[in-house]
Amino acid sequence: MSLHGSETDATYDRAGFGSPVRRGERPAIVVVDLTKGFTDPAYPTGADLTEVVAATSQLVAAAGPAGVPVVYTTIGYTPAELDTVVWLDKAPGMRALAIGSEAVEIDDRLPFTDADHLIVKKGASGFFGTGLASLLASTGADTVIVCGATTSGCVRATVVDALQCGYPVLVPRECVGDRADGPAEANLFDIQAKYGDVVSLDDALAYVGGVK
């Protein structure tokens, strides 16, 4: 059965999923793990996310003039954590994401500056075990725009937790990426149905540009 087949759509419609979120007046952008370890295919965890980086750069560039805060996240592990973080047993390729290595640095093609916030995390969600919820509250954010990688992993986890922290969520399709299309599309379908609105980059740019 097709992911977007009529039977699937009818089932979700009947269940009452897929309504649009309420957009606030003070969005914040969370850029999830667009670090070299994820955007450079030379790393075990990496893939060629050139187009995702370019689209996210457009959105971040629009954020500055609008006064929209931008928060970047990165995953990084200390030597001790390489032997204690259970996730690394399941995904040993992520052991390359060592604190102090280039793998955990924000991709140089992104307009990351000292005016932006940086969260270092150990798990999939940008919220779990970090100060992201408090940071967003301190900025007065009432909506979260989630970009980054990977769609089926850290992006989805961050979207779900943003919703559970009380934030309406937007996910610009061009600004998220994965290692494979199948998992990416399945998770975008789920996000649109249950957790946030999957929107176009143009829509997100117009929304950010309209902030007063």
Tens digit of each residue's pLDDT (9 = 90 or more) over 61-94: 999 999 999 999 999 999 999 999 999 999 999 9
What is the mean pLDDT of the segment spanning 17-31? 95
Question: How many CB atoms neighbour CB 75 within 10 A?
Answer: 24
Contact 163, 196 (CB under 8 A): yes
Closest CA to 110 of 61, 167, 66, 47: 61
Contact 208, 66 (CB under 8 A): yes
For the chain, the domains span 24-209
Q: Coil, strand, or helix at residue 20? A: coil
Catalytic residue among 147, 154, 165, 175: 154
What is the mean pLDDT of the segment spanning 119-137? 97
Please give the pLDDT value at position 3: 54
Cα separation, 10 vs 159, in Å, equals 24
Q: Is 175 a catalytic residue?
A: no
Whole-model pTM over 0.75: yes
Contact 120, 76 (CB under 8 A): yes
Residue 134 has pLDDT above 60, yes or no: yes
AA letter at 203 = D
What is the third-level CATH fold of 24-209?
Answer: Rossmann fold (3.40.50)
Strands 70-75 and 169-172: what pairing? unpaired
Cα separation, 199 vs 50, in Å, equals 19
Contact 116, 71 (CB under 8 A): yes
AA letter at 135 = L
